A and B are shown apart, each in its own frame.
Chain A
């Protein structure tokens, strides 16, 4: 587990990319990990083609949850909402490039879960318009 905390992970933890809020997001989702109190919120602006025009995340948590979310959110820009919903755990593990101990998997996957919820909310909104 100590191998996890490499420079680029710490960089994403201390300088998370796309951190904050959008002025008028089309889709929003948030969740918390009740075990450790980690909180995460994802906001997405969707373009006319149904792709991610802009995205922000916010919240607080450990290096694993924050860095995993930062990398995932960064890679989500320009992607279709459908492709985000199809993302699996492997997408997070490829970003961090190392196995995560079972006790910390929930931390690593919090961003993925909230991103997919936001993408679903975006699709639901597009379908109802």
Chain B
């Protein structure tokens, strides 16, 4: 691993060795070229080992055992929480609630905060870029409460149009927006939107599922009220995610799921609830994966989030450079097309080749990309697209992966007789 802080990182060779799956070959004998990290990231050996170590050395339930391995499991679990708090620059670990993923974190806020605070006629403001996970929970909440949804529009490049933001914010109780678009890679000006939303009294939830893996996130600098993320997109395991919330808000919220561990005392008549963050963690948590997520954060911090961003920016610039000649042959690239305003995502279509056909042809070369609507059906309709082919980068990708992508596109052009 490259532990330097230099902006010109070239950590490719060492990092690749840390990810065992990258040594695999496809059934056709092709090296695995993994360009779908926006769907889920690969895992370094250290994260895989952390899961095995918990189950093989100190598997025990947390927060109640008095014996040694129970204390060790509790410590590791809470230490992982503290790592997440530090990683996001939260004020304290109590503001970090474990969930299954970002989707569950958003649902927690929709049910708990939304149920207690939203009323008929209130406005929930989203952007047209939202993933279904930050859209459907608010549609259902609006149905339950009589609140209304409003959208910050995007232009044809998928850039949010903020000209009428102050008008859109009128009557708005909650703004829920993505930090980075999963479909286009667009980085949104979250701090600016939060400040303007706060000036009208609205609360802001940020869907950070595509941002936390790629950018240095400081929830206090953003002044986000809630921030949601999924571990599996940032080198961690599936099944564990995080809701960050400001203490003042979390304390006033009713429980979401209820049961064991989230209570202080229970009688046959009534219950009182545990303090933060355990009030929101009913039942036995996903202990192993929370601990392994802590290891993933160790890895990212050792690499340096500035280096992650610099590496992806350089790779994206290289990709745009290599893809440029294909644009004359019908390659269309969507999104900002600007490395300063884009995370490591290239969303595209090639001439009249459907995205699924493109993905199938790339698959024959071992190149894994995602094709489809990327769980953003309203955005696809807004941009008048049926589907796109999306390549997304992470720290273990290098220029050779971009070269393989371009070679795969050339092959598709040959098969489809595109001159």
Residues of A within 8 A of B (CB): 1-2, 4-5, 10, 14, 35-37, 60-64, 101, 103-104, 107
Cβ–Cβ contact B356 & A5, under 8 A: no
Q: Is residue B380 contacting chain A, with contact meaning CB distance below 8 A?
A: yes
Residues of B within 8 A of A (CB): 352-357, 360-361, 363-364, 371-373, 377, 380, 386-387, 411, 415-417
Cβ–Cβ contact B354 & A35, under 8 A: no
CA of A61 to CA of B371 in the docked complex: distance in angstroms?
12
CA of A61 to CA of B357 in the docked complex: distance in angstroms?
10
Q: How far is the CB of B110 from chain A (nearest CB, A)?
A: 23
Chain B residues closer than 8 Å to A5, beta-carbon distance: 357, 361, 415-416
| Known contacts A5-B415, A37-B380; A101/B360 CB under 8 A | yes
Q: Which residue of B lies closest to A60 (CB)?
A: B386
CA of A1 to CA of B365 in the docked complex: distance in angstroms?
10
| Known contacts A2-B411, A62-B356, A63-B354; A36/B361 CB under 8 A | no
Chain B residues closer than 8 Å to A35, beta-carbon distance: 372
Cβ–Cβ contact A37 & B387, under 8 A: yes
Cβ–Cβ contact A37 & B372, under 8 A: yes
Cβ–Cβ contact B357 & A64, under 8 A: yes
Cβ–Cβ contact A36 & B371, under 8 A: yes
Q: Which residue of B lies closest to A3 (CB)?
A: B364
- Given A37-B372, A63-B353, A63-B354, 7 other A-B residues pairs in contact with their CB atoms under 8 A: A5-B415, A36-B356, A36-B373, A37-B386, A61-B354, A62-B354, A64-B357
Cβ–Cβ contact A37 & B361, under 8 A: no
Chain B residues closer than 8 Å to A10, beta-carbon distance: 416-417
Q: Which residue of B lies closest to A66 (CB)?
A: B354
CA of A64 to CA of B416 in the docked complex: distance in angstroms?
13
| Known contacts A35-B372, A60-B386, A63-B357; A1/B416 CB under 8 A | no
| Known contacts A35-B372, A37-B386; A2/B364 CB under 8 A | yes
Between-chain CB contacts (< 8 Å), 7 pairs: A1-B361, A1-B363, A1-B364, A10-B416, A36-B372, A62-B355, A63-B353
Cβ–Cβ contact B356 & A104, under 8 A: yes
CA of A23 to CA of B356 in the docked complex: distance in angstroms?
32
Counting chain A CB atoms within 10 Å of each CB, the highest count among B355, B373, B415 belongs to: B415
Counting chain B CB atoms within 10 Å of each CB, the highest count among A5, A35, A101, A103 belongs to: A5
Cβ–Cβ contact A2 & B354, under 8 A: no
